[in-house]
Structure 1
Amino acid sequence: MADFGQALLAQSEGSSGGLLGLVPVFVMLAIGVAVIAGFWKAFEKAGEPGWAVLVPIYNAIVFLKIAGKPAWWFILLLIPLVGMVVAIIAAIDFAKAYGKGTGYGVGIAFLGAIFVPMLGFGDARFQGAAA
């Protein structure tokens, strides 16, 4: 009888650990949905289709277009180190297109999960691509 109790206890401990392991998955899923929704709204504010955020490569081209950069900059994004610099520059110009400053653009580049939903759902209005 004691073995049955220990086996039951061990089984219940194992199952709760599995559920606890799903918490980070759901948190990351929620963050991903928030970022997608934020970009969707930001794209629509700029007159671009919101669904573009769901299409790989095309979403980067639309992002660059809103930032006032040519589509061929996408190739630069694929080059190690150069791509990081280009992404930061594009994020800064993306923020400026909505009337935000350089700091906000750096925030989009490094803390996009926070700044992109704020931009999309906030009161920022598209003012045109940065010059």
Structure 2
Amino acid sequence: MYSYDVIAGLFTLPFIMIYLALTVLGIVVMWKIFEKAGKPGWGSLIPIYNFYCIMDIAWGNGWLFLILFVPFVNGIFGIITIFKFAMAFGKGIAFGFGLLLLGVIFYPILAFGDAEYIGPQ
């Protein structure tokens, strides 16, 4: 007979492996996006600095990341930033919705596709 711990482990291991794979993918993708935008790739790994860089990429002013500390406003501002982020790479509103709703697919497209950083719009 199997114990419940072994059965739980067999069901948990695939989820852990998927989580680790998505984490590594996210690191590689954001590293590549930062480099496309002229930012240091390692900047995507530093917790507060990466928000500064994302705001600088999307808005042209990195200090706007401080707005993310304001409750309720941060959600709306974050969504607008995603659309600005897409436009900074020459993509349209539809691609912004893709980043918002299906980020695991659209961020790698942004990183490894032919999109070039054109600056804040």
TM-score over 0.5 for the alignment?
yes
Percent of aligned pairs with the same amino acid:
41
1:122 has 2:113 as partner? yes
Structure 1 CA distance for aligned equivalents of residues 98 and 60 of structure 2: 19
Structure 1 CA distance for aligned equivalents of residues 67 and 94 of structure 2: 23
Q: Where in structure 1 are there 5+ consecutive unaligned residues?
A: 1-8
Runs of 4+ in 1 over 3 A off after TM superposition: none
1:77 alignment counterpart: 68
Residue 60 (structure 1) aligned to one of 38, 43, 51: 51
Residue 70 (structure 1) shift: 2.1
Q: Any conservation in 1 of the 2:60–2:119 contact (CA below 8 Å)?
A: no
Map residues 1-131 of structure 1 onto 2, 5 A cutoff. Answer: 9-11=1-3, 14-130=5-121
Normalised to the residue count of structure 2, the TM-score between the two structures is 0.88
Q: Is the radius of gyration larger for structure 1 or structure 2?
A: 1
Q: Which amino acid aligns with 1:85?
A: I
Structure 2 CA distance for aligned equivalents of residues 82 and 94 of structure 1: 18
Change in Cα spacing, 1:110 to 1:101, as seen in structure 2 (3 Å) is: same
Residue 69 (structure 1) shift: 4.1
Q: Where in structure 2 are there 5+ consecutive unaligned residues?
A: none
Q: Which amino acid aligns with 2:33?
A: A
RMSD over aligned Cα atoms: 1.7
